[in-house]
Amino acid sequence: MQGALTDGRLHNTSAIPDTLQASAVVHRLVARFPHVLPQNRSLTEYRGWIALHTAGVTQASECLTAEVVVQVRCPCGPADMQGADVQVDAHTRALLEQCALGDVLPARTAYATDLVEMLEQVSDLVERCRAGRVANVAASATSPSWTRALPRPEYYKRLLHDLERIGWEHVVRIDDAFAELELQVPDAAGRQHLVILRDWHTPAPSIHASLPAHVPLPEPDRSSVQPHGISLMQAVAQVRAVLGAYQPLFQVLDDVDQHSCVLEPERPTYATCIRRIALGRHCSLYIEVDPHNPRSVPVCRLLGGERDTAALQERLNGGLHQWDAVGRTPRQNLEAILECSFPPAPTAADRLHGSSTEGDECGICYSYRMEGVGVPDMACDYAPCARPYHRSCLWEWLQALPETRQSFQVCFGVCPYCSRPIRVRR
């Protein structure tokens, strides 16, 4: 080597090629990594060490050295990393292996544009390991994006092209690594469905959508996998085909949501086929629609006090033979069988003034909708009282009273308000 390094500056620059890019990279190298020096006149081989400055890291482990010894070979010079290769010392390799990142270093450095950027990647990865921020990330599906091998540039080019065709207005979110995308995909009727595509740059991507668990989503067609991934347009087309096949289900759920007061879920979506419909007088009807045959008789269960639900239960049991799956929707069938009209969904004004048909707050916890429990699902059978309760609240209340009797999963006690007999099944 013809040059010498003194006070952080490289003298005798006769070893530097007569190119502006190479000169700029070498000067940046001297400023950022002064202990990494060229080993030949053509500037294709470098050797030295990188100082590490991770705060709070002790030297208790022999692998946690204060520097990384590196050896770099870049056949095309310091400004072109094509065919470049970097090697680190045995202690650093052991540290990377302990953190399950032995294969990540080549992936991180493969996309460096010049020598300084390559060394920055090495320094950053080892600093993270020394700071204790990595713990067997290879076994974790939620490992941070910096531990993953980056896709090739063609992946981003094709992804952006597909997003342009789909329309940016349908893009909800894209993560930093462009590996997870959230899209709003409209179906034939214009309904918007949230679709999440994960690990799209890998040979094994996955598709998730806001649909019932029993609705199968298509597996991405891997027969046309290319080095830059599977076509996003192809995946969206497959999802739209599934959405088209389940239009009858969406129509039934829309009819229930738009023409009745749905107590649960609080914000109905197509991700569940379950609805709990208010009937009035602290009674409600739980239904579960069959996604594959949505106009058939759903699973039905009446909730509320026995005095209020007894007549409704009798009508339901005796009227199911009248079910008309062709001429009426499930909601219309249920209204006809129960001989009642479902209360309408409350308007925004109703909710603002507390005049909705949803019902009253629980007589024990004084809240209407309890997180993880829902809304009151039973009431006192004594008509002048009819105080509503969350089943779990009443169960805990009665359990705390010494006079309460329990038989298997049923507690027998008295109403906290009217002291009339009341019972609750767990």
* Domain at 75, CATH number: 3.10.110
Omega of the bond leading into 265 within 30 degrees of 0 (cis)? yes
Say what the pLDDT of residue 334 is. 94
Has this prediction a pTM greater than 0.75?
A: no
* pLDDT greater than 90 at residue 47: yes
Which of these, 263, 256, 246, 248, lies nearest to 211 by C-alpha position?
246
Do 12 and 127 have their domain in common?
yes
User: Which range has the worst mean pLDDT, 91-95, 231-235, 303-307?
Assistant: 303-307
**Residue 293: predicted pLDDT:** 93
* Higher per-residue pLDDT: 57 or 420: 420
Tell me, yes or no, whether 357 lies in a domain: no
Do 237 and 255 lie in one domain? The reply is no
Same domain, 230 and 254: no
HEC letters along the chain: CCCEEECCEEECHHHCCCCHHHHHHHHHHHHHCCCEEECCCCCCEEEEEEECCCCCCCCCCCCCCCEEEEEEECCCCCCCCCCCEEEECHHHHHHHHHCCCCCHHHHHHCCCCCHHHHHHHHHHHHHHHHCCCCCCHHHCCCCCHHHCCCCCHHHHHHHHHHHHHHCHHHEEEECCCCCEEEEEEECCCCCEEEEEEECCCCCCCEEEECCCCCCCCCCCCHHHCECCECCHHHHHHHHHHHHHHCHHHHHHHHHHHHHCCEEECCCCCCCCCEEEEEEECCEEEEEECCCCCCCCCCEEEEECCHHHHHHHHHHHHHHHHHCCCCCCCHHHHHHHHHCCCCCCCCCHHHHHHCCCCCCCCCCCCCCCCECCCECCCEECCCCCCCCEECHHHHHHHHHCCCCCEEECCEEEEECCCCCCEEEEEC
Same domain, yes or no: 26 and 120 = yes
pLDDT of residue 250: 94
Four-point Cα dihedral 401, 369, 195, 252, nearest 10: 100
Q: What is the pLDDT of residue 184?
A: 92
Instruction: Please indicate, yes or no, if residue 253 is contained in any of the structural domains.
Output: yes
Question: Are 10 and 140 part of one and the same domain?
Answer: yes
Write out pLDDT tens, residues 190-211. Answer: 999 998 888 776 666 788 888 8
344 domain-assigned? no
pLDDT at 408 over 60: yes
The CATH number linked to 391 is 3.30.40.10
Among 304, 338, 372, the domain-final residue is 338
Residue 134 belongs to a domain: yes
Instruction: Please say which residue of 306, 338, 370 terminates a domain.
Output: 338
Q: How confident is residue 178, by pLDDT bands cut at 50, 70 and 90?
A: confident
With left for phi above 0 and alpha for psi between -120 and 50, is residue 409 left, alpha or beta?
alpha
How confident is the model over 143-173, as pLDDT tens digits?
444 444 556 677 778 888 888 988 899 999 9
CATH number at residue 295: 3.10.110.20
Tell me the average pLDDT across 313-320: 90
Q: Which of 244, 272, 290 is the last residue of a domain?
A: 244
Residue 356 in domain? no
pLDDT digits (tens, 9 = 90+) for 266-289: 788 888 899 989 887 678 899 999
In a domain, 32, yes or no: yes
- Structure-model confidence comparison of residues 413 and 223, the more confident one: 413
pLDDT at 141: 35
Query: Are both 210 and 293 inside the same structural domain?
Result: no
Pairing verdict, β 410-414 and 299-303: unpaired
Q: Are residues 138 and 194 in the same domain?
A: no
Spatial neighbors of 375 by CB under 8 A, at least 6 apart, are 263, 264, 276, 284, 358, 359, 368, 369, 390
Instruction: Judge if 138 and 9 occupy the same domain.
Output: yes
Q: Could you list the residue range(s) of the whole structural domain that residue 274 is in?
A: 249-338
> Are 232 and 271 contained in the same domain?
no
Is there a single domain that holds both residue 108 and residue 15? yes
Contact 361, 376 (CB under 8 A): yes
Residues 83 and 176 in one domain: no
Give how many domains the chain has, as a whole number: 4
CA distance 99 to 135: 6
Distance of CA 15 to the CA centre of its chain: 54
pLDDT of 222 reads: 52
For residues 81 and 170, membership in a common domain is answered with no
Is residue 343 included in any domain, yes or no? no
Q: What is the CATH number of the domain that holds 230?
A: 3.10.110.10
